[in-house]
Amino acid sequence: MLVVGLTGGIGTGKSTVSKLFAERHNLPIIDADVLARDVVAPGTSGYKLVVEHFGADRVLLADGVSLDRAAIGDIVFKDAEQRKWLNGVIHPRVKNAMVKGVLKAWLSGEWCVILDVPLLVEAGLWKNEKLQFTRLMARPQTPPLTEEQAKNRIAAQLPMAAKLEHATTVLDNSGTLADLDAQVDRAVARWKRQQGGNTGWWWRLCWLVPPVGLVAAWVSLLTTWLRSRKPRRRTRGEGGGERYEMKDMKRKPSAGSRS
């Protein structure tokens, strides 16, 4: 089974791309943001730790049970140490939930699963902060974000250049939705070819004979790691041959997927 990691900075369109994978190609999505909410839901160990650490008076809503996510966000996006502590609570629990989700997809006989993970790779030097800011402010939220809160959220995520360096597919969503549709279609078509085309003979073999799948996974990880150590130029959404120059990447936010 092919496991694809979908990532990108806040406001770069990960949710749009994730929706296209699910609706146009019927691929299962494991959303780290959804899992992050689940692991601190009332009654969980994560919830208890968060309330004890920050204080019920600061992070609970008027009902005395539900977490005030806006208040928590305001705290952690301003304070790196508090953000580090919260990540230490949430990330291990999310990773465990993601592993279970991948295993469930494999047992169900899926040929591919998408991991939607905002912080899949956290390093780099590039971002289109203006477009990220505009998109973030336009999101329907209650209460609405202030400009300062939006800027703090963007600043809390490391920029995009290293994410692009780790990506095997780069989707440029600064254009039209039709353009993005075509890029997603090309990416999925390429992954299908890698998995044995219409018959899916390769992923079926890996599924039926797990040792073959494990060896293939290790080879894929090694190849990706070696490739990431070599600077290279990317094509636009894997199609057409039009080259990305660094000056173009500085102007265009992208949702990167890593397989």
For CA atoms 9, 128, 12, 242, give the dihedral sign: negative
Element (H, E) at 204: helix 201-208
Query: Hey, is 101 helix, strand or coil?
Result: helix
Q: What is the pLDDT of residues 137-194, one digit of tens each?
A: 666 666 766 767 666 665 555 455 556 666 778 888 778 889 999 999 999 999 999 8
| Structure token digits, residue 3 | 């496991």
Mean pLDDT across the stretch 199-217?
A: 80
What is the pTM (predicted TM-score) of this model? 0.66
The more confident residue out of 92 and 149 is 92
Q: What is the pLDDT of residues 10-62, one digit of tens each?
A: 667 788 899 999 999 999 999 998 999 999 999 999 999 999 999 999 999 99
- How high is the pLDDT of residue 23? 94
User: Please, which pLDDT band fits residue 102 given cuts at 50, 70 and 90?
Assistant: very high
- Classify residue 240 by its DSSP letter: T
User: Please, which pLDDT band fits residue 114 given cuts at 50, 70 and 90?
Assistant: very high
CA 231 distance to own-chain centroid: 22
CA 87 distance to own-chain centroid: 15
